[in-house]
Structure formats: C-alpha cells, structure tokens
Amino acid sequence: MKLTIRDIAEMAGVSVTTVSQILNNKGSRFSDKTRKKVLNIVNEHHYKPDYFASNVINRHSKTIGMIVPDVTDFFFSKLIEGVESYLNPLGYVIMLCNSRHSQENEIKYLKELAHRSVDGILLATPNVLPDDYSLDSGFYKNMPIILIDRGLNTRDNGRLIVKEYEGAYQAVSLFIKNGHTKIGMLKETTGYYQLEERFNGYRHALKDHGIPFNGKYVEQGELTVQGGYEASKRLLKHKDLTAIFCGNDAMAIGCYQAIDELGKKIPDDISVIGFDGLKLSEYMIPQLTTVKQPSSDIGFYAARFLIDTIEFPQRKVPNKVFETKLIIRESIKTLTKG
C-alpha cells in the first residue's frame, strides 16, 4: 500500500499542511523535533512523492553534490547518513565524491558537479579555498555551497562548529582528576581534522592543573586504526606514561592493539580516552571512554542549510555550534595517590 501525506500526518500527529510544508522545505517555523519526526517517518516508509512534474517546472535536478576527504572515515560515513536523513525525504539524491584530502581533486569535482547541474554542493574540506573558489568568488555566488570545514575558511554565517576544545579539555582533566600526570596524546599529521583544537584542549588542561607540557608525550599519525597503532608503539617507549588521549576513536582501536602487544592491560597499566563517540567504541574491551561529537547532526544541519540556500537565496544562513559530551566508560583507572 502506497503511503500518502495524510498517513504520514496521522503517524506524526501533525496536520497534512505541516507535512507538506516540511517536505517542500517551507517549514522554517516548525521546531527541529517536529521536522525530525516527520522526516524519520518518511525515511522509514520510503515515501516518494512524484517529483518529476515539479522538477520540470522548477528546473531543479533534485541532486546535491557532496565532496568528502575520505569516505572510509567513520566520521564522514555518519556525516553522510545525517545529510541523507534530511535530503532523502525531500526527494534529493547525493552525488558523492571522495577527494582523498587533495585540493586538486576538490577543484576537479567542483567543476564536474557544476557541469552536471547539481542544485548545490556540500564541501567537507581540510583546505583553505583558493581564490577562484573562495567565498566571494563568482563560482560560489552562482552555486549554492555549504562548507563543512571546522570554520577554517573565514565567514560570518553558515559556520558549523563543534566544541572540540571543550571536549578535549574535559577528557584530559578527567585523567588528571584520576591521579594521572604522565599523559600522552596521539594527534594527526595533516588532514581534515587539523586536531589543533583537541591539541590545545590537551595542553591547556595540563597547564591549568600545574602539569608541565612535554613534547615527547605527543606522537603524530594518520587518524586511522593503523595510524593509531603505529603512533602508540612509538609513544609507549616512554615507560612512565599512564594515560593516552587519542585524536579519535579509530586511533584508540590501534592504541588498544599496541598496548596489548606489549603485554599490558587497559586500564590497569594504561588508561585510554578516544574522541568521536562511535557506536563501535561500546564494543571495545574494555569499553572506551570517549568524547562524543554529533556527526550525524552536523550532516543534517549542513543539508538543511544548503536546501535553505537553494530555496531562499536572499536569506542569511545562520551559524550552528555543536556540543561535545564526555562519555565515561571502563578504560580509565584511578591511580592511588601516594
């Protein structure tokens, strides 16, 4: 049986007009809760209105281009999920491009997508945009674009910012509250995250608690399981370390492996904290303490901002700040103070 707008309205406990306005992206006066409730039902039941007729009239392709630095990265897979949860009910599909962190690839894809008549582009980038594609360039003015760049490219609006500094600061402070003073960090070499905010949070938490920063306790690697494993092996040469703050949860998985190979136990010998709050972290043994960031929500809002930009080009897109949350599990040991 084909679902109708009336069925969706009944299931969501809202009016037919409300559903219709949300699906046509005219529902800016509705709360996020109502919007999400309707979109979730639409997603769940695979409701698809007949977009063909309206597309011919509106000249919309109902296609969104999305460029990400690494499709295999857990963060980006959750981000894409969030984007789809907003776009699919509105009848849009994503054309996904994998830039592999390269600006050259990003430019190539931006040109390709423009030629394929996408309605707009979501660009997750670790790079400062070159002049031809900067926020005040002709390209940007002719093509609706929302950047997911951790605020790297300066602008007044449409910034999606995660409170990474606060999350990292809380994580390292938790180690310190539990008696740890020899605390290492795994940070990334280069790339999308540019973990500067997480690194600053680490350094300032040490400083504020009177613990001197020691550069030898910081190792760099790629933000992958392999990267975490290799960086941890180097870091664990410092036998006095009792705790490691990992740049993300994937690195923490590699860190667990390196610790295990040394015949050491978590948290008895070394305490570990990750960053991201991946579902996977609940299944690690012991369960990983981590800083959760709302990856899916970031995608949802990026998509919402983009569709608003397409539909209402004169309207100023707001900024959005996302909170992080420290999730305390079993990977930390309290050291007895002597």
**Domain ranges across the chain:** 3-54, 61-155+293-316, 162-291
The confidence score (pLDDT) of residue 122 equals: 97
The confidence score (pLDDT) of residue 2 equals: 66
The confidence score (pLDDT) of residue 56 equals: 46
What pTM value is reported for the model?
0.82
The confidence score (pLDDT) of residue 20 equals: 80
Residue type, 216: K
The confidence score (pLDDT) of residue 191 equals: 65
User: At the topology level of CATH, where does 162-291 sit?
Assistant: Rossmann fold (3.40.50)
How far apart, in whole angstroms, are the C-alpha atoms of residue 144 and residue 303?
11
Would 3-54 and 162-291 be classified into the same CATH topology? no
How far apart, in Å, do the first and last CA atoms of the chain sit? 70
| pLDDT tens across the length of the chain (338 residues) | 667 788 888 888 988 888 888 887 766 678 888 888 888 988 888 776 655 444 544 567 899 999 999 998 889 999 999 999 999 999 999 999 999 989 999 999 999 999 888 999 999 998 888 888 887 788 888 899 999 998 888 888 999 999 999 999 999 999 999 999 999 999 987 666 667 889 999 999 999 999 999 999 999 998 889 999 999 999 999 999 999 999 999 999 999 999 999 999 999 999 999 999 999 999 999 999 999 999 999 999 999 999 999 988 888 899 999 999 999 999 999 997 64
Residues forming a β-bridge with 67: 97, 123
How far apart, in whole angstroms, are the C-alpha atoms of residue 229 and residue 162?
26
The confidence score (pLDDT) of residue 57 equals: 47
Report, in this order, helix, strand and coil percent for the chain, each rounded to 5.
Answer: 45, 15, 40
CATH of domain 61-155+293-316: 3.40.50.2300
Q: With beta carbons less than 8 A apart as the criterion, state whether 248 and 199 touch.
A: no
- Residue 325 CB coordination number (10 Å): 14
Q: Which two tokens stand for residue 122?
A: 């979501």
Which single residue is written with the structure tokens 């350094």?
203
Q: With beta carbons less than 8 A apart as the criterion, state whether 331 and 265 touch.
A: no
How far apart, in whole angstroms, are the C-alpha atoms of residue 326 and residue 273?
10
The confidence score (pLDDT) of residue 52 equals: 45
How far apart, in whole angstroms, are the C-alpha atoms of residue 32 and residue 28?
9
CATH of domain 3-54: 1.10.260.40
